[in-house]
Amino acid sequence: MTAVAPSAELSIETRGLSKRFGRQLAVNGVDLAVPRGSVFGFLGPNGSGKTTTIRIMLGLAAATSGSVRVLGEEMPERLRTVLPRVGALVEGPAFYPFLSGAANLLRFDAADPAAPAGTRHTRVRTALERVGLGHAADKKVRAYSLGMKQRLGIANALLVPRELLVLDEPTNGLDPQGTREVRHLVRSLAADGATVFVSSHLLTEVEQICTHAAIMSAGRLVAQGPLTELRRAGQARIRLLTPDAGTAARVLAGLGLTADGGTAAAGGEVLYAPLPAGPDAGAPTPEGVVEALVAAGVRVRGFNLEQGSLEDRFVELTGEGFDVAQ
């Protein structure tokens, strides 16, 4: 875990947040810290507690214990003050299928007492254009694809300026072009000063748009911080290309490193060996590994240190695979 920013610098802050359903503890003592102005990825396997945490943050569910502050205000006590400053797309959009996209947004906007009626039609058209649905504004929602409905949900969250956007799986059902448009939109929202909180299971999405992330596992928050720090926290490994794989494996074993791989490649075989994480004084340095290999007569034709990826860190912390495909 990285150091937590002061409360004044956070858009979302939870302390000891827990939620119990009968005997099941769905959210267990979560201390979440989302910096203002960040694009924050909220990651975890299915059933890890992500959606329940989001519902509590937005006042859609009550916590069993702990506290939540959103935009500096206590929730749910300050719900009426906070929600007009928050746009959300949670658990998929729901619209009237026999109304057009524009008509749906007009109805939702009219239901918002804080939304100015005089600019309603202009704001609806602007929001639809911003998510790439200007051409489908007058088409009935029953004719929309899943991806179009997803973008319409984001447009609904953008009808008035928001300080915080909470998006649950915002690229769900989108084709590659739609996905790129949503990524660009998220970046532009952050550039305008909003904090964007993105719950997702797609590694590519998180790595391409997020500045910070948190990882949930079995109801617990197991890591959070800037994306660069989360990557660095993953275990690094050496990659060695040599025609002397057998000798190299024995040298590495003598250094306390377990080699795997042995994949044929031009110039010999490729071996991988994880380097122990943490400040272990006995762990060999990359330079020391190369020196030992050369001293043993191993012909080193390629050597580099590969830093841990976000996927490696996720698997290490949760013991589960990460959906990396789009």
Is residue 181 exposed (0-12), middle (13-18) or buried (19+ Cβ within 10 Å)? buried
CB 164 within 8 A of CB 197: yes
| Predicted pLDDT of residue 280 | 52
| Predicted pLDDT of residue 178 | 77
Model-wide pTM > 0.85: no
Tell me the two tokens of residue 253.
């074993």
| Predicted pLDDT of residue 265 | 78
DSSP-derived secondary structure for 96-107: -TTSBHHHHHHH
Instruction: Tell me the pLDDT of the chain (326 aa) as tens digits.
Output: 455 555 668 999 999 999 999 989 999 999 999 999 999 999 888 788 998 999 999 999 999 999 999 999 999 999 999 998 999 988 766 899 999 999 999 999 998 888 899 999 999 999 999 888 999 999 999 999 888 888 899 899 999 889 999 998 888 777 787 788 888 888 888 888 899 999 987 777 788 889 999 989 889 998 899 988 887 666 678 889 999 999 999 999 999 898 887 777 777 889 988 877 655 546 788 899 999 999 999 999 999 887 766 766 676 666 655 443 33
Which structural domains are found in the chain, ordered by start?
7-232 (3.40.50.300), 235-306 (3.30.70.100)
- Distance from C-alpha of 157 to C-alpha of 87, rounded to nearest angstrom: 4
| Predicted pLDDT of residue 320 | 58
